[in-house]
Copies of this chain bind each other. A is one copy, B any other.
Amino acid sequence: MGVVVQTIPRAAPELISRLAQAGVATVHEAQGRTGCMAARMRPVWRGASIAGSAVTISAPPGDNWMLHVAIEQLQPGDILALAPTSSCDMGYFGDLLASSAMARGCKGLVIDAGVRDIADLQAMGFPVWSTAISAQGTVKETLGSVNVPIVCAGQQVMAGDVIVADDDGVVVVPHLRAGDVAAKAEARLASEALRRKRLAAGELGLDIYNMRPRLAEKGLKYV
């Protein structure tokens, strides 16, 4: 506790932008079905779809002091990712901190705790994914750390990992894998476009994916 790491790796902006384009569900599949945060991590308002490098925060329960420290470490395009050291649903973040983060070019916040001023956050267009919404504010008494590894909604996040977030939730991509995952995600999107057309035309997945023989082999019985 009480450490701020000032230099972190970041994936290339072009890779980050391609991951944002692909979206959470596709990136998760492209990465071998890993990296997806728990389903309790939900957008505070719907319609945003972002990706960025994680500036991580490990904070005590009910204490948001480290958010101020972390904001100084932000570079344009970064995403704040906060995990409390123990389960907590208090409102760590509101419109003042959002103003500050936006002024530094921050793209959004992912937090395994609560946030508040949500009407303002939506009006400002600052996207937040959280596990709670609560008006109950926090104190500034105890140190935490910035840019150390955290576990956020069940996923390990290292500073500089790429976070992709949309209405489906949040996925974490280790920054060294960003290029590989982006490529695989795009391949997936291309093949999905084809399949979507065939499915929408009424062809069955059973036929498109040739599932019938394997279903029969496993013993599926039609009665």
Q: Which residues of chain A have a CB within 8 Å of any CB of chain B?
A: 1-6, 24-25, 28-29, 32-34, 36, 38-39, 42, 46-47, 49, 60-63, 65, 68-69, 71-72, 85-91, 94-97, 99-100, 102-104, 114, 116-119, 132-137, 139-143, 149, 151, 154-156, 166-171, 192, 195-196, 199-202, 204-206, 209, 211, 215, 218-223
Of residues A46, A151, A209, which shows the largest number of chain B Cβ atoms within 10 Å of its Cβ? Answer: A151
Contacting pair B86 A211 (CB below 8 A): no
Contact assessment for A143 and B61 in the assembled complex, using a CB-CB cutoff below 8 Å: no
Question: What's the Cα separation between A88 and B38 when bound, in Å?
Answer: 12
B149 touches A151 (CB 8 A): no
Copies in the complex: 6
A32 B1 Cβ-Cβ under 8 A: yes
Residues of chain B with a CB closer than 8 A to A195's CB: 96
A89 touches B87 (CB 8 A): yes
| Cβ contact of A86, chosen from B4, B88, B204, cutoff 8 A | B88
Q: Using Cβ atoms and an 8 Å threshold, which residues of chain B touch A97?
A: 199, 205
Smallest CB gap from A211: residue in B? B68
A103 touches B200 (CB 8 A): yes
Of the residues B60, B143, B168, contact of A134 by C-beta under 8 Å: B168
Q: Are A192 and B96 in contact (CB under 8 A)?
A: yes
Nearest B-chain residue to A154, judged by Cβ: B151
A144 CB to nearest B CB, Å: 9
Which residues of the partner chain B approach A95 to less than 8 Å between Cβ atoms?
A: 196
